[in-house]
Amino acid sequence: MINYDFPYAYENKLYHTLAFENQARGYKLYKASLDAGFTCPNLDGSKGTGGCIFCSSGSGYFTAAPEVPLEDQLATEMARLRQKDPEARAVAYFQAHTNTYAPLPRLQELYERALRCEGICGLAIGTRPDALNAETMDYLKELKECTLLTVELGLQTIHERTARIINRGYNLQEFMEAYKALKIRGIRICVHLINGLPGETKQMMLESAAYIGQLRPEAVKIHMRHVLRGTPMETLYREKKYRPLSRDEYIRLVCCQLEVLPPETVIERLTGDGKKEDLVAPLWTADKLRVLGGIDQTLDRWENWQGRYFAGRETRIRDFLNREKRGSV
């Protein structure tokens, strides 16, 4: 049942989708993922070593090898996209590792080379808050005046204990300083949130979502923490020190998170997966369509939608947790 009071309803979705944005724009905008050869301050020793405990390849699971020239990577991506949409246009998605972690001249060279590639009409830059200095952000402000630009910031959780467990390497204050600096410059921000991190309760995950909602970012990506081969997370899982969320737990949790996010925030992702050959657990994350369908059905059954309880988020979170305890959600 569609709630027609929700201004962003589209294709039976009760949350603000990229499809709604594409309709408003008049054409579908894709992402062409690439690996530009960056590293990470949490890998090279400047902030830490080993990276986050769930990271196997800098989050660029579906990118080409960094040795492949940027132009060739984007040409391959555009050819793939145009097999299903001959008119495809895309933003170049600097995805793998920390894509502002280099001197400014190097960043300028890479970003501007990408923008010169055929079919590319913007940039999405995945990075960390501790790899954004004023000089880089001033340049990004100039870029956003002439092209589509999104900076994707990994927050994952607001809880400092969890951040230490996952070896994130920066604190909430550092995140907020970068977030505010980007906002002041008028740069579009997409914040990443991860559910199912080690040691986190449902209340903690809902608190992270509510906190992000108060920031009113332009976009949010919500991920399920999956376990990949060769990571410290796999060790925790094998030693029975980590239990992933079940599919039903995840679906109910995400629906409540959507209810406490502002309706104008675009939801760019509602689940996540790695390479299937590297996926250890939970195996249900490989069936994204079933997860997304479950979210649609649950929102419809609850007669709720994104942002319905944005103003009353504390009451909604308390009610959800009480109902979870009773098994009546």
pLDDT in tens, 116-156: 999 999 999 999 999 999 999 999 999 999 999 999 999 99
Q: Check: CB of residue 47 under 8 Å from CB of residue 130.
A: yes
Percent of the chain surpassing pLDDT 90 = 79
**What's the number of domains the chain is made of?**
1
Report the CATH number that the domain containing residue 46 is assigned in CATH.
3.80.30.30
Task: Tell me the pLDDT of the chain averaged across its residues.
Answer: 92
Split at pLDDT 50, 70, 90, the class of 311 is confident
d(C-alpha 121, C-alpha 116), whole Å? 9
Split at pLDDT 50, 70, 90, the class of 276 is confident
Assess if residue 6 is contained within a domain: no
Q: What is the β-pairing status of strands 148-156 and 227-228? A: unpaired
Assess if residue 189 is contained within a domain: yes
The gap from C-alpha 187 to its chain's centroid, in whole angstroms, comes to 16
Confidence check: pLDDT of 90 > 90: yes
Assess if residue 1 is contained within a domain: no
Summarised one tens digit per residue, pLDDT across range 183-238 is: 999 999 999 999 999 999 999 999 999 999 999 999 999 999 999 999 999 999 99
Domain assignment of residue 138, given as a range: 18-326
Q: What is the dihedral of CA 144, 55, 253, 235, to 10 degrees?
A: -170
Please report which helix (H) or strand (E) contains residue 322, including its range: helix 313-326
Split at pLDDT 50, 70, 90, the class of 33 is very high
Cα–Cα distances (Å) from 6 to 12, 26, 67, 79, 320, in that order, read: 11, 21, 46, 37, 21
Assess if residue 13 is contained within a domain: no
For the chain, helix (H) and strand (E) counts, in that order, are 11, 9
Assess if residue 12 is contained within a domain: no
């050959």: which residue's tokens? 277
Assess if residue 310 is contained within a domain: yes
d(C-alpha 129, C-alpha 297), whole Å? 36
Confidence check: pLDDT of 108 > 90: yes
Assess if residue 7 is contained within a domain: no
Assess if residue 163 is contained within a domain: yes
